[in-house]
Amino acid sequence: MAIVECKMRLDKFIASMGFGSRKEVKNNIRKGLVTVNDNLIKDPGFGVIRGKDRVTLKNQPITYEDYQYFMLHKPAGVISATEDPKHKTVLDLLTSKHRKDLFPVGRLDIDTEGLLIITNDGELAHNLLSPKKHVEKIYYARIQGVVTEEDVEAFKNGVNIDDDYTTMPADLKILKSDQVSKVEIIIKEGKFHQIKKMFEARDKKVIYLKRMAMGRLQLDPELKLGEYRVLKVEEIELLKNR
């Protein structure tokens, strides 16, 4: 039996990769700004085969990708959402052309910095976020108050937050114990404001929080706050093969 290659509408192909809205893309096609395999195409409904046909818009090649993966060094003041009427979102920081269906994997609070994965791979996101998968998230924090070995033990046993929920065991490492302590925390879940609530339950306050790693993927030290880059193939494999 012959294999039938599935075709996609030309306008959908281009719009999916972030090169304008469907309306804008259709107009550009009709204006003669698009080629397929070096042939000028003016029909928005023209069928193209992903990964085979060569498509250009204004002489710029467009490569279709089913999934995209970005590492973002999230700054404070930006929310982990796809859109928001009041605040800048993490997707607003992506200035390069990208798929329209990207989303952040999990949420970092508006005042939390650090590693954030942005993708459109729903299965990967589920596997990274599900408590049943036990994927470690590593954070660095500064804490108002003296962090003690008693706190370390409490984290190891799980901390009661929100009156009706006890966290999974977490690793707390004291880097510096003082009026402002410095610590590293490893958790395997991601409840709303979890780390802040865990320390509040110990009568202490998180004054700075930064995610350093997710699974085996670490934040690239070369990325400045607000910067991002495409994940390397081997980094994607690190996430998938935790």
Give per-residue pLDDT as tens, 63-97: 888 999 999 999 999 999 998 889 999 999 999 88
Give the residue carrying structure tokens 């459109």.
120
Q: Which residues of the chain have pLDDT under 70?
A: 1-5, 242
Q: Rounded to whole angstroms, how far apart are CA atoms 109 and 132? A: 22
Give per-residue pLDDT as tens, 137-147: 999 999 999 99
DSSP 79: B
Question: 125 and 176 in contact (C-beta within 8 Å)?
Answer: no
pLDDT of residue 134: 86
Q: Rounded to whole angstroms, how far apart are CA atoms 242 and 233? A: 14
User: Could you list the active site residues?
Assistant: 109
Give the residue carrying structure tokens 């469907």.
22
Closest CA to 134 of 187, 171, 195: 187
- The full set of domains in the chain, from first to last, is 7-62 (3.10.290.10), 69-130+220-240 (3.30.70.580), 136-214 (3.30.70.1560)
Helix (H, G, I), strand (E, B) or coil at 45: coil
